[in-house]
Amino acid sequence: MRSPLLLLGMLIVGLAFIYWYTCEVNCVCFGPAKTTTVASKPNYKLTLKDDGKTLINVIDGFKFGDSSNKPYLSNPTDKGCDQLVSYTKDNDAKSITVTGSYHPDEKNNSKFPTLGLARAEAVKNLLVQKGMPADRINTADRKLGSRSSFYTDTLFNGVNFKIDTKRLVSKEVEENIKAESRILRL
What is the CATH topology of the domain spanning 46-168? 60s Ribosomal Protein L30; Chain: A; (3.30.1330)
Q: Is 121 helix (H, G, I), strand (E, B) or coil?
A: helix
How far apart CA 161 and CA 138 sit, in angstroms, is 10
Q: Mean pLDDT check: name the lowest of 8-22, 38-52, 119-133.
A: 38-52
Distance separating alpha carbons of residues 73 and 34, to the nearest angstrom: 40
Separation CA 123–CA 128 (nearest Å): 9
pLDDT for 103-125, tens place per residue? 999 999 999 999 999 999 999 99
Torsion angles phi and psi, residue 50, rounded to 5: -140, 125
φ, ψ of residue 133 in degrees (nearest 5): -65, 135
Q: What is the mean pLDDT of the chain?
A: 79
Whether the predicted model's global pTM rises above the 0.85 cut: no
Query: How many CA atoms lie within 13 Å of 71's alpha carbon, on the beta-carbon side?
Result: 28
Q: What is the pLDDT of residues 160-183, one digit of tens each?
A: 889 888 654 555 665 666 666 555
Q: Which of 1-5, 48-52, 147-151 has the highest mean pLDDT?
A: 48-52
Helices (H), 33-170: 75-90, 115-129
